[in-house]
Amino acid sequence: MAIRNLRYEGDEILKKKSREVEVIDEKIQTLIDDMIETMHKYNGVGLAAVQVGVLKRVVVIDLYDDKGPIVLINPVIIKEKGEQEVEEGCLSFPNQFAKIKRPAEVVAEYTARDGKRMRVKAKELLAQAISHELDHLEGELFIDKIIPGTLEYIEQENN
């Protein structure tokens, strides 16, 4: 496993649409492992492959609960319900946070890393994370969806 370089605000790749994963091979498995390690290094809740410069429809999410990280390959939201106003940030936009409107609940279909097609019903933070990361796969960024006047820049000390 390896820490991948994150792509940051202004990098054109972040605006590009990601391609379907055709085959879950060793290269994709390595990408997934690297993405999980990278997400954990930067204390992220989610990471899309495009954020490490790979235009593939792969997302990892970890709510740091007893379930561990989840891997979504070729994910699609098939149902949304309700709305929640949430504070959101992004590893590609360090130290920037803003309020966003996201669905309160989503149902997503995806392929797990073992190749099985799965479905997840998500609420609250997981619904927010899935929505955020799937936006990345479409080249959409949270910064373009902020509620006006809510963007904050937080200075953080380097550890």
- Cα separation of 110 and 144, whole Å? 25
CA distance 36 to 2: 9
Catalytic hit among 83, 133, 138, 157 = 133
Q: Is 133 a catalytic residue?
A: yes
Q: Are strands 46-48 and 58-61 parallel, antiparallel or unpaired?
A: antiparallel
Q: Which residues pair with 97 in a beta bridge?
A: 152
Of 136, 120, 78, 128, the closest CA to residue 103 belongs to 128
d(C-alpha 128, C-alpha 27), whole Å? 28
What are the residue numbers of the active site? 133
